[in-house]
């Protein structure tokens, strides 16, 4: 009987201790929650102050650094220099034009005894007379045409090409495709080998092409006027 009474008393003590510990734990949790709530509330008030009061906000945000101004310099553009026009020489000095450019019209051919276009001018000169380049340029072609005999073409740039036909077969040294020739440089000599014009006086057949189109040498180069 006494033993059962002691057991009951011990059980009651344990229960009381357990209840006390739960109460203490509850008080601690409540205190912690309240402390956290107070801290959050204080922080929110601080954030409200920062977002509303510009003076207070400026105390917490460092000033924005001003970047140095980069001065843009306008590049100096050189003034365009005037382009001097090319002064063209005549392919035969003191030559005389015996047949003019036909400009697509048909002209009578004494050699062929028919009418055909004449894409250049014929400059009369004695056989063996020197033929010169009308301006600086690069020799584009050197060869023999079956109808026109020895032929040389010179590229002067800007789309201008001059063509010299009915030349002697013997050429000066260095006259070959790709070579540079100066204004007045001798290209060859007048011949009578052009079969298509062999029935006429000895002469140079001279042509000018501008961007691949035959043009009047007298008008374009202002020669033999």
- Note the pLDDT tens digit of each residue in 141-191: 999 999 999 999 999 999 999 999 999 999 999 999 999 999 999 999 999
Dist. CA 225–CA 217, nearest whole Å: 10
Residue with the two structure tokens 């140095």: 68
37-89 pLDDT per residue, tens? 554 555 555 545 544 444 544 455 556 666 666 666 666 777 766 666 788 99
Torsion, Cα 89 92 93 96, to 10 degrees, reads -110
> Any idea which of 75-79, 98-102, 119-123, 188-192 has the lowest mean pLDDT?
75-79
Say what the pLDDT of residue 72 is.
65
Burial of 86 per CB tally in 10 Å (0-12, 13-18, 19+): middle
Give 150: exposed, middle or buried? Use CB within 10 Å, 0-12, 13-18, 19+: buried
Answer CATH for 96-221 from 1.10.3720.10, 2.70.70.10, 3.20.20.370, 3.20.20.60: 2.70.70.10
Rounded alpha-carbon distances, angstroms, from residue 3 to 12, 13, 16, 97: 14, 15, 20, 157
| Phi, psi angle pair for 152, to nearest 5° | -135, 135
pLDDT at 216: 97
State the pLDDT at residue 77: 73
Q: What integer pLDDT is reported at residue 76 of this predicted model? A: 73
Within 10 angstroms of residue 211's Cβ, the number of other Cβ atoms is: 9
pLDDT score, position 196: 93
| pLDDT, position 157 | 95
Query: Is the model's pLDDT at 18 over the cut of 80?
Result: no
What pLDDT score was predicted for residue 2?
Answer: 46
Average pLDDT (106-134) is: 95
Could you give the CA distance from residue 48 to residue 75 in angstroms, rounded to a whole number? 53
More confident residue, 120 or 67: 120
* Cα–Cα distance measured from residue 7 to residue 13, given in angstroms and rounded to the nearest whole number: 10
Hey, what are 72's tokens? 């843009």
pLDDT of residue 79: 74
Does residue 225 have a pLDDT over 60? Answer: yes
Residue 122's closest CA among 161, 85, 148, 152?
148
Section 133-148 average pLDDT: 96
Computed over every residue of the chain, the mean pLDDT equals 80
pLDDT at residue 167, as a whole number = 97
pLDDT at 3 over 80: no
Cβ atoms within 10 Å of 118's Cβ, excluding its own: 21
pLDDT at 5: 45
Write out the residue limits of the CATH 2.70.70.10 domain(s) in the chain: 96-221
């Amino acid at each position: 009987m006494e033993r059962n009474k002691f057991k009951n008393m011990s059980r009651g003590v344990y229960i009381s201790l357990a209840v006390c510990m739960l109460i203490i734990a509850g008080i601690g949790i409540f205190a912690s929650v309240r402390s956290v709530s107070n801290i959050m509330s204080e922080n929110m008030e601080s954030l409200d102050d920062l977002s509303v009061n510009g003076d207070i906000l400026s105390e917490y945000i460092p000033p924005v650094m001003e970047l140095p101004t980069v001065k843009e310099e306008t590049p100096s553009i050189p003034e365009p220099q005037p382009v001097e026009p090319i002064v063209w020489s005549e392919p035969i000095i003191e030559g005389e034009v015996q047949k003019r450019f036909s400009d697509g019209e048909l002209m009578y051919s004494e050699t062929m005894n028919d009418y055909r276009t004449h894409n250049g001018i014929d400059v009369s000169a004695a056989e063996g007379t020197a033929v010169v380049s009308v301006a600086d340029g690069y020799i584009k072609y050197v060869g023999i045409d079956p109808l026109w005999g020895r032929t040389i073409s010179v590229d002067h740039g800007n789309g201008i090409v001059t063509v010299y036909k009915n030349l002697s077969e013997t050429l000066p040294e260095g006259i070959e495709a790709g070579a540079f020739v100066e204004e007045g440089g001798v290209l060859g000599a007048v011949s009578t080998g052009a079969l298509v014009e062999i029935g006429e006086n000895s002469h140079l057949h001279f042509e000018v092409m501008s961007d691949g189109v035959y043009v009047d040498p007298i008008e374009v180069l202002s020669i033999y006027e």
